[in-house]
């Protein structure tokens, strides 16, 4: 696939947002990547895979396939951590299928992973950056980011913001009654990130469950005449099958693309500065994000919590960006 030259010209860096993406594709991670890989607003320094929805061997192959489908083989790709900091890996093939990006064809694209470990890549990028320069989008467990912050805490000031998918407050959990999947997998990693003192914009289930696909929304993507949009429609149809039963809905929540949509069009989301702590000790509520939404404590604010979204604007943006491939 992709014998064409990479689509680089549009993406040359002039006043663009320097960005690192850390993800565990996952169909919804894939849609997030499709938006980011076609966004001239970003200076995308690299994509790092982490173990999560499926094991690392699959997520690292998936980022290669997804970059190849988008003909963005110019973006460096890295493999990261293969298990959570302190816990065994739990995967979610029951949601995402065996490969994570079902029903796409799995193949070995020409584009390879960089030899450097993803954590070392992030550390090097921060080392060479100015203070407040680098935006990190994280749509899987926080393992890689927490490892960076533990190994090089002095570099945290180079991070402008962390835009993450994870957590749940009003909505309750999707993997236990209390916890959202990404946080449940590696709560100790999120704890490190929450304590790092950098601006965090969090898109948890409270908002992602308002961004639901539907047959009409998928049909609008299916109608676009390009292979990336067709791959997106294929994955959405697959992804919908599990969540539409679970939530008795017409489709599935598009969790991870909320992060990139926020960077492109922040005004479509409602955010509130809150204090947030993550439960580490209880077996019952492991990974619960205790967000002090009503300010009932005097804990300092450490997170901007997304609580509402204009879903029509979201799907217009998604469809528009997919149409531009």
Cβ-contact 81, 22 below 8 angstroms:
no
Residue whose CB is less far from Ca ion, 24 or 292: 24
DSSP string, 255-275: TTHHHHHHHH-GGGEEEEEE-
Euclidean distance between CA atoms 233 and 229, whole angstroms: 6
Whether the CB-CB separation of 139 and 259 falls below 8 Å is answered with yes
Question: Is residue 255 near ligand BDR by the rule CB under 6 A?
Answer: yes
Residues 82-141 that bind ligand BDR (CB under 6 A): 92, 95, 139
Report how many residues bind ligand BDR under the rule CB under 6 A.
Answer: 14
Q: With contacts defined by CB under 6 A, name the span among 76-84, 178-186, 232-240, 272-280 that binds ligand BDR.
A: 178-186
Query: C-beta of 296: minimal distance to ligand BDR in Å?
Result: 26
Q: How buried is residue 103: exposed, middle or buried, by Cβ count under 10 Å (0-12/13-18/19+)?
A: middle
H or E element that contains 212: none
Stretch that binds ligand BDR, among 41-49, 177-185, 270-278, 309-317 (CB under 6 A): 177-185
Under the criterion CB under 6 A, does residue 200 sit at the interface with ligand BDR? no
Catalytic residue among 96, 255, 304, 307: 255
Residues 28 to 67: which contact Ca ion by CB under 5 A?
29
**Is 301 part of the annotated catalytic residue set?**
no
Tell whether residue 80 is a contact of Ca ion (CB under 5 A). no
Site string for Ca ion, 112-151 (x = CB under 5 A): ---------------------------xx-----------
Among ligand BDR, Ca ion, none, the one that 181 touches (CB under a kind-dependent 5 to 8 A) is: ligand BDR
262 binds ligand BDR (CB under 6 A): no
Q: Which run of H or E residues covers position 216?
A: helix 215-222
Which is nearer to Ca ion, 46 or 140 (by Cβ)? 140
Query: Please, are residues 180 and 163 in contact by the beta-carbon 8 Å criterion?
Result: no
Q: How far is Cα 177 from Cα 206, in angstroms, rounded to an integer?
A: 14
Q: Which of 217, 213, 208 is nearest to 308 (CA)?
A: 208
Q: Which is nearer to ligand BDR, 164 or 196 (CB)?
A: 164
Please identify, among the stretches 4-12, 23-31, 78-86, 272-280, the one whose residues bind Ca ion according to the rule CB under 5 A. Answer: 23-31
47 part of the interface to ligand BDR, by CB under 6 A: no
What's the CA gap between 18 and 36, in Å, rounded? 12
Nearest to 53 by CA among 98, 101, 91, 83: 91
Which are the catalytic amino acids? 255
Binding site for Ca ion (CB under 5 A): 24, 26, 29, 139-140, 256
């Amino acid at each position: 696939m992709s014998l064409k030259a990479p689509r680089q010209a549009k993406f040359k860096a002039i006043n663009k947002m320097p960005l690192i993406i850390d993800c565990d594709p996952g169909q919804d991670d894939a849609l997030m990547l499709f938006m980011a890989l076609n966004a001239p607003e970003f200076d995308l320094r690299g994509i790092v895979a982490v173990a999560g929805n499926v094991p690392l061997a699959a997520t690292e192959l998936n980022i290669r396939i997804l970059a190849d489908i988008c003909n963005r083989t110019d973006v460096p790709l890295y493999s990261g951590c293969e298990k959570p900091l302190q816990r065994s890996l739990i995967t979610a093939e029951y949601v995402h299928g065996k490969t994570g990006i079902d029903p796409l064809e799995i193949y070995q694209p020409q584009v390879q992973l960089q030899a450097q470990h993803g954590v070392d890549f992030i550390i090097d990028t921060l080392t060479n950056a100015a203070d407040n320069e680098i935006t990190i989008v994280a749509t899987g467990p926080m393992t890689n980011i927490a490892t960076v912050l533990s190994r090089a805490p002095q570099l945290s000031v180079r991070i402008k913001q962390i835009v993450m998918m994870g957590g749940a407050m009003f909505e309750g959990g999707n993997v236990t009654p209390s916890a959202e999947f990404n946080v449940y997998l590696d709560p100790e990693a999120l704890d490190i990130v929450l304590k790092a003192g950098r601006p965090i914009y969090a898109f948890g289930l409270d908002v992602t469950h308002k961004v639901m696909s539907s047959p009409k929304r998928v049909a609008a993507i299916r109608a676009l005449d390009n292979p990336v949009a067709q791959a997106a429609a294929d994955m959405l149809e697959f992804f919908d099958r599990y969540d539409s039963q679970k939530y008795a809905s017409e489709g599935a929540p598009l969790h991870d693309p909320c992060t990139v949509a926020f960077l492109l069009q922040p005004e479509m989301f409602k955010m509130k500065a809150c204090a947030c702590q993550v439960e580490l000790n209880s077996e019952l509520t492991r990974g619960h994000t205790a967000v002090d939404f009503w300010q009932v404590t005097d804990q300092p604010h450490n997170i901007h919590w997304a609580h509402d979204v204009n879903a029509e604007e979201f799907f217009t943006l998604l469809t528009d960006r997919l149409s531009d491939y």
